[in-house]
A and B are shown apart, each in its own frame.
Chain A
Amino acid sequence: MTRPRIILHVAWYLVKNRAINPFLKKRSGQILLVLITGLFLINSLQYLIGEASSRTVLDAVRPYLHGLGLDHRSIAVLISGFLIIYTIYTLIKGKPIYLREEEYEVLLSQPIGLDEFMLANIISILISPLILTPAFFGLALFGMVFTGDPIRGILGMFGGLILLSGTIMVEILFKLAVRKTGRKLPLIILFIALLAAGITHSLIARTYSLILGIPYMPIAASLVYPFSKSVSLTGAIAVLFLGYVEIGGLSLVASVLSRKIDIEDLSPRSTVNIKLFEGGIPRIKYGSPRNILYSYLFTSRVLSSKHLLGLTILLSVSGLAGLAARRLIGIPGDASIAFIEIFIPMMIGMALYTLSSHVLAMDLRCYWLYRTYVIDMAPVAGAIISKLAVNSVEAASIMLIGLSFYMNKIHLLLMIPYYLPAGIAGAAIQLITLSYLASKRQVIRETTAGIYSVEGLTAVLLEIIIIAVFMGVSSLAFYLSGQPLPVLVAGGIISIIVSYPLLRFVERIIGDIMTYYDVLI
């Protein structure tokens, strides 16, 4: 029998631990809160006294979006389509529900039912984003600058919260469904069929098919409709209401499923790391320290079958998406191309940055070990930079293959090598900054927690640099793609040739800093 008092007690402390205290009791959280709230209020004031520019970002962007055949409805349909893909991914992975270590070890050893915990968890997932609303003022700020309307900014912020909670609920719901029914194939077939029908209908009808919006349209529309001036404020509020209704429905089904949950359905997050190596420990070629470090930090990651498979899938999806877009909306005009050339590299740059930050965080967790055992840190620096630079080239390849098919500019593929020296330079900036900060930590503490919040916040600031580098090279690539073939090929060859001495140069410098900084200096 579930006990409401216990459920609320657990939910309250989960929300406190996940959302309230990090913002109200941590200095960094407080600063962020004040900063974003302040910016929002100043901008709102500007709007209210009529000093803000009458031409908004939305006004500027709208023609480009229309040129791509996108309006608020089609963007919502696309987001819903991505949620369908996410559902399929969740179903295929079928992993247990991962919990934080303390939630698993401390909370589940207490006298609470697993269903009570799941209900409390669901409540906290639904409430935590609301508590984090101040942080989401960033989204409200974006919405206000985008639309020029603070009310729409705030509604958009709630839309963002709905999408966030909705995505988490979708994951929990389908994980529970797989664990409880033990039959994931029918669900996978159902969602793949829905996706295939939506894509087919879109290509035949040359529109973004509403079939893609069937399961998640209210959630997806919550993020988009408040930002569209084609939708009235009342209409936007109604959409948000529907979004909450859908999340409520998903939560209700998840709650019913959680009644029969088993301890084996839940797992601490540490097991994720163990599962990463289930395919076998990376094969390391023994030899010189340099070979071993490169083998462990670079080759075993970049050339692993899992990584190569993922890359192949992404390249294929990108190419197919490019072809589908060409079929759906035709080759874009010059105005739309200008928009694409800025927008797509920015998005890919952000994704690349997230990946490279994760890679760095994982690699620098062992910083103490390298500093203790490795005499020369240059190979460590070189291997990490190489890995990040290769990731950069891979991201560029994924982007360029799609765009070359979409824009019918196959020459774009010749620009891929141009990203290599830029990737090395960007990775070097990231590594030198983060390792400089990490080297100030007491070595012994590095063993327990890896990267700390200062490094984390610095990493966020570095995001601007990485995205700027990626966007800069992309602009160059798009500009040069109109040049004659021999020029493009020569440029590519020069990029590759330049990359090697550049890598050796930066690895030597960063290696020395990583080895000696705060030891001799």
Chain B
Amino acid sequence: MVNALVLADLYKTYPGGVMALRGLSLMINEGEIYGLIGPNGAGKSTTLKITVGLLKPDKGGVLIYGKSVMRNRIEALKLTSYVPENPVVFKNLTVKEFLRFITGLRSIKWEEIIDYAEYLVEGFNLSEKENTMLYQLSRGMLQKVLVTAAFLVRPKLMVMDEPMAGMDPEAQHFFKKEVKRLVSRGATALISSHLLDMVERFCTRVGIINKGRLVAEGTIEEIKKIASEESSLEEVFLKIVKG
């Protein structure tokens, strides 16, 4: 089994003294949809930002398909796509310009992916917005644009922070369908979310993070066994997090 992502013993303290991660380790295998859940301030976004090289850990390392993000940043990130927690975009670009910008960074020719781009744009109901400036779009629409860009770059590892926030049900359905399709073709997904119902039904494995540490990990069934619960992930989550 190929390790798509290895996070080894990550520590991170912010300048203000807040200790966000305290020795977090996890391993995700190729073909998994890994859900990272945890209360606010648990360290989820910090973990994801370290994964894609936006933050430097004080200690520990990140390997994406065996490539170190710290030492071999470009090669590691070539395999990765990222959807940030907040839909920040280049607001004075149009949807189409933004997608061409992001794909161009990977030397992907637009002609090669135009069909897939059209499929995604249609799937997310963005067809009429292709030439709209991004500052004119709502939060949900921006989220769709960022997710479209993340799919378009043909990633082997998708790192997504609350990817469905603000999306309408139709777009959520399309998103899940597309993630499953990409994963069935060898991609891997690391998704942080507060939507526990979605994680329970959608993710193949789940990690629960609290106070900067991974406190439980496994398939939904395994997690439930850890908590000795037969109920929903939500109740198991609350039991684990609150001790």
Interface residues of A (CB under 8 A from B): 5-6, 9-10, 13, 16-18, 21-22, 25-26, 101-106, 108-114, 262-264, 274, 278, 448
Q: Which of B53, B77, B86 contacts A101 (CB 8 A)?
A: B86
A25 lies within 8 A of B92 (CB): yes
Over the window 51-76 of chain B, the binary record of Cβ atoms lying under 8 Å from chain A Cβ atoms (1 yes, 0 no) is 01111100000000000000001111
A10 lies within 8 A of B86 (CB): no
Contacting residues, chain A, for B80 (C-beta < 8 A):
109, 111
State in angstroms the CA–CA spacing of A278 and B18 once bound together. Answer: 13
Contacting residues, chain B, for A10 (C-beta < 8 A):
105
Nearest CB in chain A: distance from B234 CB, A = 27
Nearest CB in chain B: distance from A287 CB, A = 29
Nearest CB in chain A: distance from B77 CB, A = 4
Give the residue name and chain of the B residue nearest to A13 (CB): B101
Give the residue name and chain of the B residue nearest to A104 (CB): B54
Contacting residues, chain B, for A109 (C-beta < 8 A):
52-54, 77, 80, 82, 84
B77 lies within 8 A of A21 (CB): no
Contacting residues, chain B, for A448 (C-beta < 8 A):
139
Contacting residues, chain B, for A274 (C-beta < 8 A):
16
B91 within 8 A of A: yes
A25 lies within 8 A of B88 (CB): no
Give the residue name and chain of the B residue nearest to A103 (CB): B90
Nearest CB in chain B: distance from A277 CB, A = 10
Kindly count the residue-residue contacts between A and B in the assembled complex, taking CB atoms under 8 Å apart.
84
State in angstroms the CA–CA spacing of A191 and B152 once bound together. Answer: 50
What are 20 A-B pairs with beta-carbon distances under 8 A? Answer: A6-B105, A9-B105, A13-B90, A16-B97, A17-B90, A17-B92, A17-B93, A18-B92, A21-B133, A22-B92, A25-B92, A101-B88, A102-B91, A109-B82, A109-B84, A110-B105, A111-B75, A111-B80, A111-B105, A113-B73
Given A105-B84, A106-B88, A109-B54, CB of A16 within 8 Å of CB of B77 = no
State in angstroms the CA–CA spacing of A263 and B49 once bound together. Answer: 11
State in angstroms the CA–CA spacing of A16 and B96 once bound together. Answer: 13
B188-211, CB < 8 A from A: none
B8 within 8 A of A: no
Closest 4 CB pairs of A and B: A111-B77, A109-B82, A101-B88, A21-B92
B74 lies within 8 A of A112 (CB): yes
Contacting residues, chain A, for B77 (C-beta < 8 A):
109-111
Contacting residues, chain A, for B91 (C-beta < 8 A):
17, 102
Nearest CB in chain A: distance from B69 CB, A = 10
A13 lies within 8 A of B74 (CB): no
State in angstroms the CA–CA spacing of A447 and B52 once bound together. Answer: 29
Give the residue name and chain of the B residue nearest to A21 (CB): B92
Give the residue name and chain of the A residue nearest to B69 (CB): A263
Over the window 78-114 of chain B, the binary record of Cβ atoms lying under 8 Å from chain A Cβ atoms (1 yes, 0 no) is 1010101010111111100100011011110000000
Give the residue name and chain of the B residue nearest to A263 (CB): B56
Given A6-B105, A105-B54, CB of A21 within 8 Å of CB of B82 = no
Contacting residues, chain B, for A112 (C-beta < 8 A):
74, 105
B55 lies within 8 A of A263 (CB): yes
Contacting residues, chain B, for A278 (C-beta < 8 A):
16
B158-186, CB < 8 A from A: none
State in angstroms the CA–CA spacing of A21 and B84 once bound together. Answer: 24
Give the residue name and chain of the B residue nearest to A449 (CB): B135
Nearest CB in chain A: distance from B194 CB, A = 19
A102 lies within 8 A of B90 (CB): yes
State in angstroms the CA–CA spacing of A108 and B105 once bound together. Answer: 11
Nearest CB in chain B: distance from A276 CB, A = 13
Nearest CB in chain B: distance from A18 CB, A = 7
Nearest CB in chain B: distance from A281 CB, A = 12
Contacting residues, chain A, for B74 (C-beta < 8 A):
111-113
Contacting residues, chain B, for A5 (C-beta < 8 A):
107
Contacting residues, chain A, for B52 (C-beta < 8 A):
109
